[in-house]
Amino acid sequence: MTLTTQPADALAQMRETAPLVHCITNYVAMNIAANVLLAAGASPAMLHTPEESGDFAAIAGALTVNFGTLSPNWVDGMHKAIDGAQAAGKPWVFDPVAHYASPWRAGIARDLLARQPTILRANASEVLALGGGETAAKGPDAGDEVAAAEATARTLATELGAVVAVTGATDFVTDGTRAVRIDGGSPLMPLVTAMGCSLTCLVGAYAAALDDPFDATVGALALFARAGDIAAQGASGPASFQTAFIDTLHALRPDALAAVAVTDA
Ligand SMILES: Nc1ncnc2c1ncn2[C@@H]1O[C@H](COP(=O)(O)OP(=O)(O)OP(=O)(O)O)[C@@H](O)[C@H]1O
Ligand SMILES: Cc1ncsc1CCO
Ligand SMILES: [Mg+2]
């Protein structure tokens, strides 16, 4: 088996650590992502200004950078935060939301990728386009299947020396050597905005608590998959699903994660 720490143990360790996570995320995601982290058992802080982001990243357990709603001041804050995290030996996670949407955004994605993220978490269209491939997507919503991005994810993981997580109906995680697929979740998940952005912050929480970023990433994705399964059972649509999902993250016991299908790829 590819994992040293199974998702159930990973959740227990993350909750035991209750890591402070420095999340630089977009205006759309800030509220739901903070609530997702609190419900799961981590401690979120959403801040981005360059005057403090470097100092804060150094004291947090991990940094996550999502550039969904971008402006120049934020870019400066992202680079200072990465400086602070790396100087303190803390992991950082990159979420390149719709990096293909404009030339300016694409250039910033290239600059941030060159800063050696520990983990890259993105949807299939974002991963495909990072590898130079064609994508049907224009904005933050994916327009491609995860399977179409798996080969690119493997190449990127090797080139970047990072864990790459591609999310969608079946998630794919690789570090270039190890690779798994994770089934589960619900078709309601892409109908709730910023679920992926929230997941990126949760990956940061797991990366703060576990030594192995591959096991950390799989643990976070497995928790989302299982919580998505359970929350969908009682939901009548996207809005009630979002509420049920946060309640489920809070209530879910580690042994419930044994039901998640994590298979070698
Ligand atoms: N069709 C689906 N069935 C089951 N789970 C899904 C489906 N689509 C997405 N998910 C799950 O939703 C979560 C978010 O992944 P997604 O790929 O939608 O992120 P994203 O496109 O970056 O989202 P956003 O940018 O809106 O935050 C992941 O846990 C993923 O497994
Ligand atoms: C809808 C949206 N627009 C910019 S960021 C974001 C959140 C989902 O990525
Ligand atoms: Mg996204």
Residue nearest to atom 4 of ligand 2 (CA): 68
- Has residue 2 been placed in a domain? no
Which pLDDT score is estimated for 100?
A: 97
Which pLDDT score is estimated for 1?
A: 64
- Has residue 105 been placed in a domain? yes
DSSP conformation class of 232? H
Name which of 250, 210, 33 is nearest 45 in CA terms: 33
Pocket test for ligand 1, best of 69, 146, 199 (most atoms within 8 A of CB): 199
For residues 176-191, average pLDDT: 98
Q: How far is the CA of 29 from the centre of ligand 2 (A)?
A: 7
Q: Which residues pair with 65 in a beta bridge?
A: 24, 94
Instruction: Ligand 2, residue 26: give the atom nearest the CA.
Output: 5
Residue 109 in marked binding region = no
- Has residue 190 been placed in a domain? yes
Q: How far is the CA of 167 from the centre of ligand 1 (A)?
A: 6
For residues 35-61, average pLDDT: 98
- Has residue 96 been placed in a domain? yes
The tokens describing 20, both together, are 């402070």
Q: What is the pLDDT of residues 125-154, one digit of tens each?
A: 999 999 999 998 999 999 999 999 999 999
Range of the domain at 248: 7-264
Ligand nearest to the CA of 123: 1
* pLDDT over 70 at 166, yes or no: yes
For residues 10-31, average pLDDT: 98
Residue 194 in marked binding region = yes
pLDDT band at 260 (very low <50, low <70, confident <90, very high): very high
- Has residue 128 been placed in a domain? yes
Residues with CB under 6 A from ligand 1: 97, 123, 140, 142, 167-169, 171, 185-187, 189-190, 193-197, 199, 224-225, 228
Which pLDDT score is estimated for 37?
A: 99
* pLDDT over 90 at 197, yes or no: yes
Q: What is the pLDDT of residues 219-246, one digit of tens each?
A: 999 999 999 999 999 999 999 999 999 9
Q: How far is the CA of 193 from the centre of ligand 2 (A)?
A: 7
State the CATH number of the domain containing residue 60: 3.40.1190.20
Name which of 263, 259, 255, 251 is nearest 181 in CA terms: 263
In short, whether 167's Cβ falls inside 6 Å of ligand 2 is no
Q: How far is the CA of 216 from the centre of ligand 1 (A)?
A: 18
- Has residue 122 been placed in a domain? yes
- H or E element that contains 92: strand 92-95
- Burial pattern 50-73, b for ≥16 Cβ within 10 A else e, equals eeebbebbbebbbbbbbbbebeee
- Has residue 1 been placed in a domain? no
- With contact defined as beta carbons under 8 Å apart, do 23 and 33 qualify? yes
10 Å CB burial of residue 126 (0-12, 13-18, 19+) is buried
Residue 121 in marked binding region = yes
Percent of the chain residues past pLDDT 90, beyond the cut: 98
In short, whether 31's Cβ falls inside 6 Å of ligand 2 is no
Number of independent structural domains in the chain? 1
Instruction: Ligand 2, residue 97: give the atom nearest the CA.
Output: 9
